[in-house]
Amino acid sequence: MFGIDILHEEHENIRIFTKYVRQLCAQMMEGKEIEKDVLVNCVDFMKNYADIHHHGKEEEILFKVMLDNLGPIANKMVNMGMMIEHNIGRYHVDSLDKVVKSLGEEVTVQQKLDIATHALAYADLLLRHLEKENTVLYPFAVRNLSEELMNKVNEESKRFEEEGAKKGISRYVEWLHSVYQEEEA
């Protein structure tokens, strides 16, 4: 199931990214200076990998097929649940982006508060969101979509990935692995 597998793979990268964000915020609270470039890279990952690439694929392909074919339960899960969370995530990314763009030589305490507020809220939201998709929404789709519809999801996802590859989407995963390594449990 290429379409679902690739979403799971991206969730794993987003989960690792949330840990990196929490680590950065913890270091900031301990008094370490936060570099603007580091935050610019984080906003770039949030916007272009997590939102445009991952949420974009969910919204344009899987959610669309579910909404068109799986009735009121799918409608409730997608429109009253997942889409609302995607939009709250966008609010936090836009808010963080504004703070980052406003940073000068010295980062003020107020700016640090705004960075922590939006970065941590985003990390918490995304972590819970991807857990719900992994355990409820994706299994619901797998159980209920016909083979024909799942093939459609797979084909469209492959095309989406080809477009992503042309735009160099793999650089986000490479960047993430270069800045954060998860410790062995």
Judged by beta carbon, residue 55 or residue 118, the one nearer Fe ion is: 55
Count CB-CB contacts under 10 A for residue 68. 9
What contacts 67, CB < 8 A, 6 or more positions away?
A: 74, 75, 78, 79
**Residue 101: CB minimum distance to Fe ion, A:** 26
Residue placing its CB nearer to Fe ion in the complex, 97 or 133: 133
Residue 183 burial (10 A CB sphere; 0-12, 13-18, 19+): exposed
Q: Which is nearer to Fe ion, 9 or 174 (CB)?
A: 9
Helices (H), the chain: 2-29, 36-44, 56-57, 63-69, 71-77, 83-102, 109-132, 138-144, 147-166, 170-179
Q: Which residues bind Fe ion (CB under 5 A)?
A: 58, 82, 133
Which residue's structure tokens are 């969101």?
129
Shortest spacing between CB 149 and Fe ion, in angstroms: 19
Give CA separation, 161 vs 44, 49, 55, in Å: 18, 12, 13
Q: How far is the CB of 137 from Fe ion (least distance, A)?
A: 8
Q: Are 92 and 118 in contact (CB under 8 A)?
A: yes
Identity of the residue, 85 or 114, whose beta carbon is nearer to Fe ion in the bound complex: 85
CB of 153 to Fe ion, least distance (A): 14
Nearer to Fe ion, 58 or 97 (CB): 58
The least distance separating Fe ion from the CB of residue 89, rounded to whole angstroms, comes to: 8
